[in-house]
Amino acid sequence: MRSNCSLGGIGMMCSLSEQGKQLAIQVSNILGMDGCGIDLLMKDDCSFYVCEANANVGFIAFDKACNLDVAGIIADYAASLLPPGRLTRRMSLLSVVSTASETSEPELGPPASATVDNMSASSSSVDSDPETTERELLTKLPGS
């Protein structure tokens, strides 16, 4: 899969009207996607077309254009949803490192539910070695 920016488009930060924000939220709710990218095209009258919705969002070009760390923001948000005390300094979040080039995005794998069902650490103890647990999880990812 290739993003618009990888095909020669130029990413740039711009403000989005309340109408555009609400449309993007409505589309993500209709599709049942908690985290996604909604591409909007603005018409001459400043209303919008929905161009596409992406569940598999690539952040490299977006991060560069907007000087943001979107994956980090999403990870922080996900961690904030955990019950208090569930995530401690002795635990680490599983890091996913992309080896894709700037002009490509990762290929789709099996549904997330299949991946999650097949992933389990040998220990859920807070005192377990986070690096060992992370290595065990990485070996269970598809394609490892």
The answer as to whether 98 is a domain residue is: no
Tell me which residue range forms the domain holding 46: 5-89
Number of structural domains (the chain) is 1
| Pick from 134, 114, 94, 112: nearest CA to 56 | 112
> The CATH number of the domain where 62 resides is what?
3.30.470.20
The answer as to whether 116 is a domain residue is: no
The answer as to whether 82 is a domain residue is: yes
Give the angle subtended at the CA of 71 by the CAs of 36 and 115, to the nearest 5°: 70
Range scoring the smallest mean pLDDT among 13-27, 30-44, 80-94: 80-94
**Looking at residue 83, what is its pLDDT?**
84
In this prediction the pTM is 0.51
**Looking at residue 97, what is its pLDDT?**
41
The answer as to whether 29 is a domain residue is: yes
The answer as to whether 51 is a domain residue is: yes
**Looking at residue 20, what is its pLDDT?**
93
